[in-house]
């Protein structure tokens, strides 16, 4: 069975070496030496100033909203993974959906202004499939209306924009290190910011607000990453160049064989590619269904990322229509893409689609 993704398993001996270190130190969690090592190495690798590791990417979003004092309503995208919306609702924030651009599949900045009210405090937008949002336009609007910007960068590990990290933009950017992501710590995530005092606040918040053994200075929660997760991350990080090279080879193969008959995401010119996903748009919904069924008959299971669109989640009461998101969601499939996907299988997938 071929699925859309497969969790990467790094070198086992190296992982055991780190686990030996955990047994020696006896420290399993609470910002232990491996979490500290991974934070330092990731911040340097990604070229970001403050990176705080957390237990998963959904908590990363929730903590970013809390730390930035987001209240009331938040402008957001209908075309993302459900956590982008559920994290808002979980924090009692009101999501206001704004349709996406038909070409880059990210929130359409031209639609944002009409949806801002007196209660709006932030914009939460995803760099979908690692493609940069139209950040200059978003920043202009945010400045004019004093809104915070949080980017969900779960797909944007290692992506650059204008020759610096894409993760450096907005008031904060969050990452997910779930097992299905390009870089993973089994479960995990991170919050990235350029603001040192915000970073300090987040560090307190993820550990119950405990400032010292007998001092709790702020409301917090438990969102700590543990040493075993960090051990996996340290092993993964060493292999990222190798993983990316294998992904690129496969991404390029799909592009060469499918770009002329299918529509691809229009990627921002200033933005690099991390080859995390290979999404394609079919001509219409019936064609998408037929081809998906055909692939399934051959035990190939691409995924409809993203379906359902988030404004249609059962707990969303505001029934505004999002025609672009709806149309793309009906026609999209993410094709299988992972480092050891065999080229003979890719040929079969391309042949089946072209046929």
Ligand X SMILES: *Cc1c(COP(=O)(O)O)cnc(C)c1O
Per CB under 6 A, 178 contacts ligand X: yes
Rounded to the nearest whole angstrom, what is the least distance from the CB of residue 92 to ligand X in the complex? 19
**What residue is closest to ligand X based on CB?**
57
Among 121, 176, 265, 324, binds ligand X (CB under 6 A): 176
Token pair belonging to 261 = 């008959």
- The residue among 212, 227, 195, 191 whose CA lies nearest residue 63 is 191
Q: 121 near 147, Cβ under 8 Å?
A: yes
By beta-carbon proximity to ligand X, the closer residue of 70 and 353 is 70
- With CB under 6 A as the contact rule, which of the stretches 77-85, 88-96, 334-342, 344-352 interacts with ligand X? 77-85
By beta-carbon proximity to ligand X, the closer residue of 91 and 249 is 91
Task: State which of positions 237-296 bind ligand X (CB under 6 A).
Answer: none
By beta-carbon proximity to ligand X, the closer residue of 152 and 227 is 152
Task: State which of positions 50-69 bind ligand X (CB under 6 A).
Answer: 56-58
- The residue among 352, 351, 346 whose CA lies nearest residue 254 is 346
Rounded to the nearest whole angstrom, what is the least distance from the CB of residue 341 to ligand X in the complex? 20
By beta-carbon proximity to ligand X, the closer residue of 79 and 253 is 79
Rounded to the nearest whole angstrom, what is the least distance from the CB of residue 16 to ligand X in the complex? 25
Query: Rounded to an integer, what distance in angstroms lies between the CA atom of residue 223 and that of residue 55?
Result: 5
By beta-carbon proximity to ligand X, the closer residue of 53 and 96 is 53
Q: 130 near 274, Cβ under 8 Å?
A: yes
Per CB under 6 A, 84 contacts ligand X: yes
Query: Rounded to an integer, what distance in angstroms lies between the CA atom of residue 283 and that of residue 63?
Result: 40
Q: Are strands 120-126 and 94-97 parallel, antiparallel or unpaired?
A: unpaired
By beta-carbon proximity to ligand X, the closer residue of 105 and 253 is 105
Rounded to the nearest whole angstrom, what is the least distance from the CB of residue 182 to ligand X in the complex? 11
Rounded to the nearest whole angstrom, what is the least distance from the CB of residue 205 to ligand X in the complex? 17
Query: Rounded to an integer, what distance in angstroms lies between the CA atom of residue 208 and that of residue 216?
Result: 8
Rounded to the nearest whole angstrom, what is the least distance from the CB of residue 127 to ligand X in the complex? 8
CA distances from 163 to 54, 104, 148, 191 (A): 27, 20, 24, 21
Rounded to the nearest whole angstrom, what is the least distance from the CB of residue 58 to ligand X in the complex? 3
Question: What is the end-to-end Cα distance of the chain in Å, rounded?
Answer: 21
Query: Rounded to an integer, what distance in angstroms lies between the CA atom of residue 125 and that of residue 115?
Result: 14
By beta-carbon proximity to ligand X, the closer residue of 14 and 66 is 66
| Token pair 């909203």: residue | 65
Task: State which of positions 293-352 bind ligand X (CB under 6 A).
Answer: none
Task: State which of positions 127-156 bind ligand X (CB under 6 A).
Answer: 152, 154-155
Per CB under 6 A, 85 contacts ligand X: no
Query: Rounded to an integer, what distance in angstroms lies between the CA atom of residue 154 and that of residue 179?
Result: 12
CA distances from 331 to 21, 82, 85, 144 (A): 49, 18, 22, 36
* Residue 57 dihedral angles phi and psi, to the nearest 5°: -75, -25
Rounded to the nearest whole angstrom, what is the least distance from the CB of residue 149 to ligand X in the complex? 16
Rounded to the nearest whole angstrom, what is the least distance from the CB of residue 59 to ligand X in the complex? 7
Query: Rounded to an integer, what distance in angstroms lies between the CA atom of residue 352 and that of residue 343?
Result: 14
By beta-carbon proximity to ligand X, the closer residue of 64 and 291 is 64
By beta-carbon proximity to ligand X, the closer residue of 116 and 153 is 153
Query: Rounded to an integer, what distance in angstroms lies between the CA atom of residue 278 and that of residue 344?
Result: 17
Max Cα-Cα span within the chain: 68
Among 4, 83, 206, 281, binds ligand X (CB under 6 A): 83
Q: Which residues bind ligand X (CB under 6 A)?
A: 56-58, 80-81, 83-84, 126, 152, 154-155, 176, 178, 189
């Amino acid at each position: 069975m071929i699925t859309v993704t497969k969790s990467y398993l790094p070198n086992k001996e190296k992982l055991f070496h780190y686990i030996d270190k955990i047994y020696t130190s006896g420290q399993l969690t609470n910002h232990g030496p491996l979490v500290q090592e991974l934070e330092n190495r990731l911040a340097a690798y990604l070229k970001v100033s403050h990176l705080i590791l957390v237990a998963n990417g959904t908590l990363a979003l929730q903590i970013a909203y809390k730390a930035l004092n987001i209240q009331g309503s938040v402008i957001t995208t209908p075309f993302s993974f459900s956590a982008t919306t559920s994290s808002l609702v979980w924090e009692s924030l009101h999501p206001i959906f704004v349709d996406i651009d038909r070409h880059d599949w990210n929130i359409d900045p031209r639609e944002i202004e009409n949806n801002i009210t007196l209660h709006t405090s932030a914009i939460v937008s995803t760099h979908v499939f690692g493609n940069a949002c139209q950040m200059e336009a978003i920043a202009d609007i945010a400045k004019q209306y004093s809104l915070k910007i949080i980017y969900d960068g779960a797909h944007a590990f290692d992506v650059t924009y204008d020759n610096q990290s894409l993760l450096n933009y907005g008031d904060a950017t969050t990452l997910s290190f779930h097992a299905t992501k390009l870089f993973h710590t089994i479960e995990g995530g991170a919050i990235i910011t350029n603001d040192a005092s915000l970073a300090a606040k987040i560090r307190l918040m993820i550990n119950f607000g405990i400032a010292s053994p007998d001092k709790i200075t702020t409301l917090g929660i438990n969102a700590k990453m543990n040493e075993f997760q960090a051990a996996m991350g340290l092993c993964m990080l060493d292999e990222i160049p190798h993983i990316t090279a294998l992904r690129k080879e496969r991404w390029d193969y799909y592009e060469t064989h499918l770009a002329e008959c299918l529509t691809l995401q229009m990627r921002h010119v200033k933005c690099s590619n991390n080859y995390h996903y290979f999404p394609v748009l079919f001509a219409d919904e019936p064609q998408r269904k037929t081809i998906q069924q055909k692939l399934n008959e051959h035990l190939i299971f691409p995924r409809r990322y993203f379906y359902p669109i988030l404004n249609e989640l059962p707990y969303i009461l505001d029934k505004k229509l999002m025609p672009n998101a709806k149309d793309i969601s009906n026609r999209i499939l993410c094709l299988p893409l992972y480092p050891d996907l065999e080229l003979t299988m890719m040929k079969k997938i391309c042949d089946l689609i072209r046929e």
